[in-house]
Amino acid sequence: MTKLHSHQHDHDAGHAHDHNHNHCIDTALATAETLCIEQGQRLTKVRRRALELIWESHRPLGAYQLLAKLAEEGFNSAPPTVYRALDFLLAAGLIHKVESMNAYLGCAHADRAHKGYFLICDECHNVMEFDYQDIHAALIAKAAKQGFELRAETIELTGLCADCKAKATDAAAVGTSA
Amino acid sequence: MTKLHSHQHDHDAGHAHDHNHNHCIDTALATAETLCIEQGQRLTKVRRRALELIWESHRPLGAYQLLAKLAEEGFNSAPPTVYRALDFLLAAGLIHKVESMNAYLGCAHADRAHKGYFLICDECHNVMEFDYQDIHAALIAKAAKQGFELRAETIELTGLCADCKAKATDAAAVGTSA
DNA sequence: GATAATTTTGTTATGGTATAACAACTCAAA
DNA sequence: TTTGAGTTGTTATACCATAACAAAATTATC
Ligand SMILES: [Zn+2]
Ligand SMILES: [Zn+2]
Ligand SMILES: [Zn+2]
Ligand SMILES: [Zn+2]
């Protein structure tokens, strides 16, 4: 697990805040390998590369975007290739699907069982995963009150992230002073 | 507004519980007309019929399923027809989109502003809309804590509804006693 | 190591969801 | 009655996802 502590300001990669995104990638890949070994699963070339490509940013990646990237690198370019890789990564809990975007996102907490709760920025399209045990418990209770047995949750919140809100405020300030 | 109080047991229409579904339909259509008049919007034939068809059950309807039904009745059968109707109904708040199903559902509370929170049964595919102000408030607070300004929410919970859970329990009981 | 079983990948085809772009029509206001 | 806005018709296309079966690679068993 190579940890590069170089401080990068890689806005094109689409992160939510300034952070060392290589660390995100390294951690995710290391976790993936550990989990696959533990569970006797095979992290093949195409699966591993798909995971890396999804982790290029904190913006969800569409299946066909991923397919194009894989094709550029010489992988087979038919849809089943990418959907199989996605299915594997989803089943292994290494990625999430963002339903409201039909796109896929690396999971930073693959090593612990959890539901994906997402904050999606309308502006920069970065997605932050958050865990809110209180809300989860409240949802279970609410469902149970109606006799409903909860199995899965799709919690996707959209709006403006802190960075984009700051930028919008700045732009407005420039607008009024000009 | 024709209220038929005939008690129907219309399981094929896909309701969550026994109820007079004509009442759901009548109320929804009446609300739609009122809202459209208030807002100077035109509930044209195709829009109105689309809304009625979506309200045939409490199961979300896919765009192409809707398109087929409209086509049967002599409406234009090209996709834009149905997507335009859906866009109108969505914008008017008369229907919701269930993102995890790519399907559309009549809204029973179109007259008051609200977010759609859904309980989706994996078995019968009925969807119940529920409103849980506490959870909404908690989500806003949670987002705000991260500097995130919340705009829209996709809350879709899947599992087993009370009816289907009861049926599953019955079936299991028969299985063990046999 | 050879063989068989299992998993993964290749390949072709198809189905399902959604929008772009522009022409024609309808309706209400000016 | 022209004008203009909104709505609908029409064709084409883009994007998302899976079915079905063949071939190859990996693993297990002999
Ligand atoms: Zn990162
Ligand atoms: Zn943002
Ligand atoms: Zn009903
Ligand atoms: Zn059910």
What is the secondary structure of A25-52 as a DSSP string? Answer: HHHHHHHHHHHHHHTT----HHHHHHHH
Q: Is B162 within 8 Å of A148 when comparing Cβ atoms? A: yes
Quick one: pLDDT at residue A174? 67
Q: Is the CB of A71 under 7 A from strand C?
A: no
Number of structural domains, chain A? Answer: 1
Cα(B148)–Cα(B169) distance, integer angstroms:
43
Give backbone dihedrals phi and psi of B96, rounded to 5 degrees, phi first.
Answer: -120, 155
In chain A, residues with a C-beta closer than 8 Å to the C-beta of B122 are 151
Q: Is B53 exposed, middle or buried (0-12, 13-18, 19+ CB in 10 A)?
A: buried
- The nt closest to B99 (CA vs C1′) is C17
Give pLDDT tens digits for A68-120: 999 999 999 999 999 999 999 999 999 999 999 999 999 999 988 888 899 99
User: Quick check: B174 and B166 in contact, CB under 8 A?
Assistant: no
User: Quick check: A158 and B151 in contact, CB under 8 A?
Assistant: yes
List, as one string, the DSSP characters of B76-100.
--SHHHHHHHHHHHHHTTSEEEEGG
Quick one: pLDDT at residue B3? 34
Cα(B99)–Cα(B78) distance, integer angstroms:
22
Quick one: pLDDT at residue A176? 59
Q: Please give the residue range of the domain that contains residue B57.
A: 3-8+17-177
Grade residue A172 by pLDDT with cuts at 50, 70 and 90: confident
Q: Is the CB of A44 under 7 A from strand C?
A: yes
In chain A, residues with a C-beta closer than 8 Å to the C-beta of B160 are 148-149, 151
- Taking residues A20-45, what's their average pLDDT? 95
Beta bridge partners of residue B150, listed in sequence order = A159
- Taking residues A127-154, what's their average pLDDT? 93
Of A60-64, A100-104, A133-137, B57-61, minimum mean pLDDT range: A133-137
Whole-structure pTM value = 0.87
Cα(B81)–Cα(B50) distance, integer angstroms:
10
Grade residue B131 by pLDDT with cuts at 50, 70 and 90: confident
Give pLDDT tens digits for B142-177: 999 999 999 999 999 999 999 999 988 877 776 665
In chain B, residues with a C-beta closer than 8 Å to the C-beta of A146 are 119, 128, 130, 162
Give the pair of three-digit tokens for residue B161: 């509804």
Give the pair of three-digit tokens for residue B100: 């995890």
User: Quick check: A152 and B119 in contact, CB under 8 A?
Assistant: no
User: Quick check: B29 and B105 in contact, CB under 8 A?
Assistant: no
Q: DSSP state, B74?
A: T
Give backbone dihedrals phi and psi of A53, rounded to 5 degrees, phi first.
Answer: -65, -40
| Residues of chain B in Cβ contact (below 8 Å) with chain A | 99-100, 119, 121-122, 128, 130, 132, 134-135, 138-139, 142-143, 146-162, 165
Quick one: pLDDT at residue A169? 83
3-state helix, strand, coil in chain B (%, to 5): 50, 15, 35
Grade residue A44 by pLDDT with cuts at 50, 70 and 90: very high
Domain at A55, CATH number: 1.10.10.10
Q: DSSP state, A96?
A: E
Which residue in the set A122, A139, A154 is minimally distant from B100, CB to CB?
Answer: A154
B124 is in an annotated binding site: yes
Q: Is A156 within 8 Å of B151 when comparing Cβ atoms? A: no
Candidates A54, A71, A52; CA nearest to A62 is A54
User: Quick check: B52 and B27 in contact, CB under 8 A?
Assistant: no
